[in-house]
Amino acid sequence: MAKGKVYLVGAGPGDPKLITVRGLECIKACDVIVYDRLASPRLLKHVKPGAEKIYVGKLPDRHTMKQEEINRLLVDLALEGKVVTRLKGGDPTIFGRVGEEAELLQEHGIEFDIVPGITSAIAVPAYAGIPVTHRDLASSLSIITGHESPDKLDRSIQWDKVTQATGTLIFLMGVAKIGYIAEQLMKYGRPPETPVALIRWGTRVEQQTVTGTLATIEAVVKAADFQPPAVIVVGEVVRQREKLRWYERKPLFGTRVLVTRARAQNSELADRIEELGGEPCEFPVIETREPADPDARAGIESALQQAESYDWLMFTSANGVEYFWRWLRRFRIDIRRFNRARVAAVGPKTAEALEHRGLYAMELPVKFQAEGLLESLEGSLKPGQRVLLPRGDLAREILPRDLKESGLEPVVLDVYETVIAENQDAETLELLLRGEVDVVTFASSSSVTNLLQVMRRMGVSEPAEALRAAEIACIGPVTAKTAREAGLSVAIESEEATIEALIGAIAASRQAKRFSNEGGAD
């Protein structure tokens, strides 16, 4: 059997978007990914279907797997002919023990690549508003391990030389030894008033920072019950934090948001959450698909073949637009056959989906709901006109009902089905059940219903009760009504049924909450 290959990859400091392009390529290519707790679990969604995931993470009080066992595991997997990605937090060459792993691979003749990552020593202070160098404050820095016991620290660190060697000192893994580290630095010449910062879980939603001086920092850490993992920064650059704390000023900083939209639609909402400083947890509970029933497919073809008979094409969602075009391609129906029809759309995203295909909606409703469509088209609709409504099977009946009552002939065409998504992430559900999700978003009534069903299917007997720790955010009044009827307490409701309005409402709510809590921890 041919030997496999091992990629020794730095995952970066925690924010999954700080992985390198090369690192992401290795994740996508591997047969097995071996990862630790400092690598963002959100990176795992990029592995190919069927790839094995092996957790070998270490906690402060225990090791899931000893380093020697990890080394041997990489060798064994490669000898089985597998492509292995060893995903390590930060940069694998900075206190990552990558040398030990690479040496054993070399001894067994196994090919390997070392893929550098963004080290937490630089990135974490940057996310706390602390540049590790500054023209006026520090032109050099040292990166030092702080994880060892005091006697080992004394053997591995020449305190008399390190203390004054560079303007900025960065200690990794030294929270438990902060008192001893501060004591040694003062003993060998650093002034007691030297600024110090500790940043916990930097670049992640849990990021927390405490500051003090060499004389006070141990007491500050104890008072805050500050726990590892954290990066320690010593030096005048720490003073820059008050002016440059850019990340913590973002409106969704510290906010974990559950996204329940269909997987194909998650990216827009997830990207906006990240842009505003939050962390999206993707937990899609709905999927859209073409109707499987042959009679339904035949009905779609029949309706589309009557293209010349329609006076109006009315689209109520971007999904309706997408699937409408899929069926046109399937049945080879030229869009120009609808030249008699005027086009209307519910909401700007629906109109945008049409524009991408060269069609411009004649009218847009003010409310971005089906109810608003007829209001905005008042005077244009005439009795006897034939209206084609390409939509999903769960769409509300209010629009075809109102059209019929107005004397028009609605032709309802279910071009896609909405079903419960499969293969939800159990780890994300655990976050939700532990109360570690701040906001749960619903972008449709079906996402409300399906989330509750999915939670029951995954063993949660009272899903509405389990969601009480999080704020419920709904896109518009229709979805909010469904959520309330399901027993959920809706805390955030956007006035318009758009993703941008939903994000704005969430950001406003979180900022108001933050301001009401001012005066708390840094």
What was the pLDDT predicted at 364? Answer: 64
pTM for the full predicted model = 0.81
Count how many residues are written for the chain: 522
173 is catalytic: yes
**pLDDT at 85 > cutoff 60:** yes
Is 58 a catalytic site residue? Answer: yes
Mean pLDDT of 380-398: 90
| pLDDT score, position 209 | 97
Q: Which of 5, 15, 82, 173 is catalytic?
A: 173
pLDDT beyond 80 at 424:
no
Dihedral sign from CA coordinates of 89, 95, 101, 102: positive
CATH tag, 256-285+421-516: 3.40.50.10090
How many Cα atoms occupy the beta-carbon half-sphere of 39 within 13 Å?
Answer: 31
CATH architecture of the domain covering 122-249: 2-Layer Sandwich (3.30)
Q: Which pLDDT does position 149 carry in this prediction?
A: 64
Q: From 3.40.50.620, 3.40.50.850, 3.40.1010.10, 3.40.190.10, which CATH number describes the 5-118 domain?
A: 3.40.1010.10
Query: If pLDDT is split at 50, 70 and 90, which confidence band does 159 have?
Result: very high
412 band by pLDDT with thresholds 50, 70 and 90: very high
Query: What order of strands is seen across the sheet that includes strand 256-259?
Result: 279-282, 256-259, 439-442, 471-474, 490-493
Whether the predicted pLDDT of 521 surpasses 60: no
d(CA 312, CA 362): 10
Which of 321-325, 377-381, 435-439 is predicted least confidently? 377-381
Catalytic residue (one of 58, 250, 367, 481): 58
CA dihedral 195, 196, 202, 208 (to 10 degrees): -90
Question: Looking at the domain that runs over 289-420, which CATH code has it been given?
Answer: 3.40.50.10090
**Domain ranges, ordered by start, for the chain:** 5-118, 122-249, 256-285+421-516, 289-420
Q: Evaluate if residue 440 carries a pLDDT over 90.
A: yes
How many C-beta atoms surround the C-beta of residue 390 within 10 A?
Answer: 28
The confidence score (pLDDT) of residue 369 equals 60
CA 490 to chain centre: 22
Q: Do 289-420 and 256-285+421-516 fall under one CATH topology?
A: yes
Sequence-ordered list of residues with C-beta below 8 angstroms from that of 470, at least 6 positions apart, any chain:
258, 432, 435, 437, 438, 439, 440
Q: Which of 36, 91, 414, 438 is catalytic?
A: 36
